[in-house]
Chains A and B, each alone.
Chain A
Amino acid sequence: MGYGLLISKPGIDVLGTLAQDQKNLIFDYNLNHLKTAGYGTVTLSASAGGTQLQTVGHSLEYQPLVVAYYHNTTTNPDRWLITTSVVPNTGISRIASDDSVACLSGTASIGFLYKNQAGAAGTVELLYEYFYEGSS
């Protein structure tokens, strides 16, 4: 029998049958887990119909995995949306939001491209986290 660290979810015997299903574990030494390389907040502002790109430098030298959420601080302060990429110039259908943010990942920086399709200037706040896991 080998050695390793397994942590099961509350109520599940780590030595029992249920724990053999890895989705019932909190931590499994056999599997990789996402490890945070950096995180932060950016604020993006754009005029009506405009865009703003904000980049955040990193030193990983490969494209990291990124997860980010954003909200319009004025029109949708309670509605956080996950970033997607490259939205159409017209006809955004994401829950009637006029704001879209594309998430991109490069070898020296990550970036967030805000596209404001409302009839007035807009500002979004974005929370991001990027990981050591990525293209390499």
Chain B
Amino acid sequence: MTQTFRVSKPGIDVTSGTVPNNYYLDLIYPLLKVHSFGTFNTNVASFPVTVNHNLGYYPFVLTFSQFLDSNGGTPVVTNEYYQHDWFLRGASKEWIGQTKVFENKIEINVSQTDIASGTSIKGFYYIFKDPIA
């Protein structure tokens, strides 16, 4: 019998079945391993935020941040966080929420054409050990 390692969900017999979603942990399916995590609370003028990870490859990254919402008026910082990336370009305005991934760092950028440079934007990011490819 091939050896394996599994942790099944409550009520699931760990010795039977092959449905991956029945297991919290399965040798065949690597878990995303958090390399680093952080929050930011940054003035618009201070973006991009650079976070060094020094992994030497392109890791999987997830970022959420506040959005600068406007509908023809003064931009308002949202309470909720939005998933990166977004990039909107109107006739004369841009909205950017972008996370660039490099081999040894990430760069997080949030901006909007009309926003005051001292406006603070909050968000968080997760960088994983697992490479994109």
Chain A residues with CB under 8 Å of chain B are 7, 9-10, 22-23, 25-28, 31-34, 63, 65-67, 83-88, 102-107, 111, 133-135
Chain B residues with CB under 8 Å of chain A are 5, 25-35, 37, 39, 62, 64, 67, 78-86, 88-90, 95, 97, 122-124, 126, 129-131
Instruction: Determine whether the beta carbon of B33 is less than 8 Å from that of A22.
Output: yes
Q: What DSSP secondary structure best describes chain B's contact surface?
A: strand
Count of chain A to chain B residue pairs whose CB atoms are closer than 8 Å in the complex = 104
Nearest CB in chain B: distance from A84 CB, A: 6
A9 to B86, CA, bound (A): 35
Instruction: Determine whether the beta carbon of B82 is less than 8 Å from that of A103.
Output: yes
Q: Which residue in chain B gives the minimum CB-CB distance to A24? A: B30
Q: Which residue in chain A gives the minimum CB-CB distance to B84? A: A85
| B95: A residues at CB distance < 8 A | 86
Instruction: Determine whether the beta carbon of B67 is less than 8 Å from that of A86.
Output: yes
Known: A26-B27, A65-B126. A31 touches B34 (CB 8 A): yes
A22 to B38, CA, bound (A): 20
A75 to B32, CA, bound (A): 32
